[in-house]
Structure 1
Amino acid sequence: MTLLEQIQKEHAAAFTHGGKFHADDVFSAALLLHFNPQLTIQRGNRVPEDFDGIVFDIGRGEYDHHQKDSRIRENQVPYAAFGLLWEALGTEILSPEMAARFDEKFVQPLDLNDNTGEKNELASMIGMFNPVWDDNSGSDAAFLEAVAVAGRILEHKWERFRADERAEQQFAALLAEHRKRIAAEKKAGTMDEKILILSEFFPCQKQLSATEIAFLIFPSNRGGYCVQPVRKENSFNYKYDFPETWLGLEKEALQEATGLSDVSFCHKGGFLLTAETLDDAVAACRISLAGMPKAPVLIHIGTDAIDADDALLRQMPGMEHAVILHKPLPEAPELNICGSYAVSSLEKAEWKIRLREYLSDLLKEKPEAVCVSGDLFAAYPVMHQLRKKHIPVLTVSEQNGKRLLIRIPSGS
Structure 2
Amino acid sequence: MSVADERRRFHADESLAVYMLRLLPEYSDAKVVRTRDPEVIKTADVVVDVGGIYDPASHRYDHHQREFVDTFGEGFSTRLSSAGLVYKHFGERVVRQILGWHAAEDTPKVHLLFRKIYKDMIQAYDGIDNGVPAYPSDVKPAYKDATGISHRVSALNPWWNQPADDIDQRFMKAVEMAGSEFKERVRFLGLSWLPARTLVEDALHSRKDVHESGRIIVLDQFCPWKEHLQQIEEENKLTEKNHPFYIVYQDSSSQWRVQAVPVSPTSFESRKALPEPWRGIRDQALSTLTGIEGCVFVHAGGFIGGNLTKVGVTAVQAARGRMDG
TM > 0.5:
yes
Pick closer, same or farther for the CA change 1:234–1:227 going to 2, 3 Å.
closer
Counterpart of 2:202 (choices 173, 186, 207) is 173
> How is 1:141-290 mapped onto 2 (pairs within 5 angstroms)?
141-162=169-190, 163-179=192-208, 181=209, 188-189=212-213, 193-209=214-230, 210=233, 211-232=242-263, 236=267, 237-244=269-276, 254-255=282-283, 258-259=286-287, 262-264=294-296, 270-283=302-315, 287=319
SS at match of 1:116: coil
- Measured on the aligned residues, the alpha-carbon RMSD in Å equals 3.4
The equivalent residue for 2:3 is 15
Q: Is the 8 A contact 1:15 1:43 kept in 2?
A: yes
Normalised to the residue count of structure 2, the TM-score between the two structures is 0.68
Looking at structure 1, the residues matched to 187 and 248 of structure 2 have their Cα atoms a distance apart, in angstroms, of 25
Larger Rg: 1
Looking at structure 2, the residues matched to 45 and 266 of structure 1 have their Cα atoms a distance apart, in angstroms, of 65
Deviations 1:30-89 (A, max 9, x none): 211222554332324545256323210111123111112213226542121111111111
SS at match of 1:39: coil
Looking at structure 2, the residues matched to 154 and 289 of structure 1 have their Cα atoms a distance apart, in angstroms, of 48
SS at match of 1:188: coil
Which ranges of structure 2 fall in alignment gaps of 5 or more residues?
54-59, 97-109, 135-144, 234-241
Pick closer, same or farther for the CA change 1:44–1:223 going to 2, 3 Å.
farther
Which ranges of structure 1 fall in alignment gaps of 5 or more residues?
1-12, 294-412
CA apart distance, 1:272: 3.7
The equivalent residue for 2:32 is 41
The equivalent residue for 1:27 is 16
Percent identical among aligned pairs is 19
CA apart distance, 1:229: 1.2
The equivalent residue for 2:113 is 98
SS at match of 2:44: coil
The equivalent residue for 2:138 is none
CA apart distance, 1:257: 5.1
Looking at structure 2, the residues matched to 263 and 66 of structure 1 have their Cα atoms a distance apart, in angstroms, of 62
The number of residues matched between the two structures is 269
Amino acid of the structure 1 residue aligned with 2:131: T
Pick closer, same or farther for the CA change 1:117–1:132 going to 2, 3 Å.
farther
The equivalent residue for 2:43 is 51
Verify: 1:139 aligned to 2:128, yes or no.
Answer: no
CA apart distance, 1:241: 1.0
> How is 1:40-119 mapped onto 2 (pairs within 5 angstroms)?
40-46=31-37, 48=40, 51-61=43-53, 62-73=60-71, 75-92=76-93, 93=95, 95-116=110-131, 118=133
Amino acid of the structure 2 residue aligned with 1:279: V
Looking at structure 1, the residues matched to 114 and 212 of structure 2 have their Cα atoms a distance apart, in angstroms, of 38
Q: Is the 8 A contact 2:286 2:296 kept in 1?
A: no
Amino acid of the structure 2 residue aligned with 1:43: R
Looking at structure 2, the residues matched to 124 and 284 of structure 1 have their Cα atoms a distance apart, in angstroms, of 49
Amino acid of the structure 2 residue aligned with 1:80: S
Looking at structure 2, the residues matched to 291 and 40 of structure 1 have their Cα atoms a distance apart, in angstroms, of 71
Q: Is the 8 A contact 2:3 2:14 kept in 1?
A: no
Amino acid of the structure 1 residue aligned with 2:122: V
Deviations 1:300-321 (A, max 9, x none): xxxxxxxxxxxxxxxxxxxxxx
Higher strand share: 1
Q: Is the 8 A contact 1:241 1:288 kept in 2?
A: no
CA apart distance, 1:233: 6.0
Q: Is the 8 A contact 1:15 1:53 kept in 2?
A: no
Deviations 1:306-353 (A, max 9, x none): xxxxxxxxxxxxxxxxxxxxxxxxxxxxxxxxxxxxxxxxxxxxxxxx
Amino acid of the structure 2 residue aligned with 1:42: V
> How is 1:304-319 mapped onto 2 (pairs within 5 angstroms)?
none
Amino acid of the structure 1 residue aligned with 2:88: E
